[in-house]
């Protein structure tokens, strides 16, 4: 049995559906556009923005890129967001994080119109996620739920453990699992007896940003393991938060790094951008 969950393949299916939806809207004279703002020259952010631009081209979404200098002021950035909020050709707005230290990320996220907040970071959209009544879902957790669904893995009644409590992944992931009737435990840096908790998980989702943090003794035999991490190992190669080679033998399904959750995050961004126009 192939235990690997192929995120690239599932992402390709999602993007094909988005492309069809974009073409249908184009036939009615409706354009779908995504505005991406990047401030400064963070190399990782530049790679992400370039990938998003390529994804837009693949599915037929118009890409608007705003590359601003490191010296951009809060007032200038908020003025740009206000302009994009009012622009009907812009369906979705994404401000690449992290921002330079002199800029207020919370204020920037709050300035983006909730109807164009395709990252689902605006407090209004976060509130909708909490009560299970939403238009947009954060891209990474939504991508994970899509992967589980595609693989026929139901979380209903299952013991699901999320390692990581970030606003971007951990917290919304827990809310989505709860909505799908899972029993959810959130672990973090202050959690005691972490291995004892993770080793009881039917579904283990790891988003801590520490290379090969989850070892084989921390995983239940037959579990489903979703690795959100993207790190560099001691050998310089990309690796996840899970010790893949050691854990692989124990699990029923596992996502690789790269090629697992990452492609899904970008595919869901395209899906959210299309949804904003409907």
Active site residues: 52, 96, 119
Q: What token pair was written down for 81?
A: 């967001």
**Cα 133 from Cα 131, distance rounded (Å):** 6
**Cα 217 from Cα 198, distance rounded (Å):** 9
- Measured from the Cβ of residue 104, the count of other Cβ atoms closer than 10 Å reads 14
**According to DSSP H, which parts of the chain are helical?**
7-27, 43-59, 74-85, 105-111, 123-131, 139-150, 170-179, 194-198, 244-248, 261-275
Of 221, 224, 228, 278, the closest CA to residue 258 belongs to 228
Q: Give the strand pairing for 33-39 and 92-95.
A: parallel
CA distance from start to end of the chain: 40
**Cα 80 from Cα 182, distance rounded (Å):** 41
Of 251, 242, 234, 237, the closest CA to residue 209 belongs to 242
Of 273, 277, 278, 274, the closest CA to residue 118 belongs to 273
């Amino acid at each position: 049995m192939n235990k690997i969950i192929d995120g690239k393949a599932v992402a390709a299916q999602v993007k094909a559906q988005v492309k069809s939806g974009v073409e249908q809207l184009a036939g009615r004279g409706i354009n779908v556009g995504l505005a991406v703002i990047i401030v400064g020259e963070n190399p990782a952010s530049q790679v992400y923005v370039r990938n998003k631009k390529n994804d837009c081209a693949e599915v037929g979404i118009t890409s608007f890129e705003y590359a601003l200098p490191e010296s951009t002021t809060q007032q200038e950035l908020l003025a740009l967001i206000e302009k994009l909020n009012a622009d009907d050709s812009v369906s979705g707005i994404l401000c690449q994080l992290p921002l330079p230290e002199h800029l207020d990320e919370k204020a920037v996220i709050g300035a983006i119109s909730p109807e164009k907040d395709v990252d689902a970071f605006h407090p209004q959209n976060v509130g909708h996620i909490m009560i299970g009544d939403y238009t947009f879902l954060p891209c990474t957790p939504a991508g994970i739920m899509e992967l589980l669904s595609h693989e026929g893995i139901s979380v209903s009644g299952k013991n699901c453990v999320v390692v990581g409590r970030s606003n971007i992944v951990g917290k919304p992931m827990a809310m989505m699992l709860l909505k799908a009737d899972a029993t959810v435990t959130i672990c973090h840096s202050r959690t005691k007896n972490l291995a004892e908790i993770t080793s009881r998980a039917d579904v283990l989702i790891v988003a801590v940003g520490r290379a090969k943090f989850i070892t084989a003794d921390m995983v239940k035999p037959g579990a489903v393991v979703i690795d959100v991490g993207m790190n560099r190992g001691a050998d310089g190669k990309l690796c996840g938060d899970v010790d893949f080679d050691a854990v692989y033998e124990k699990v029923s399904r596992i996502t690789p790094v790269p090629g697992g959750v990452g492609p899904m995050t970008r595919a869901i961004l395209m899906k959210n951008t299309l949804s904003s126009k409907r």
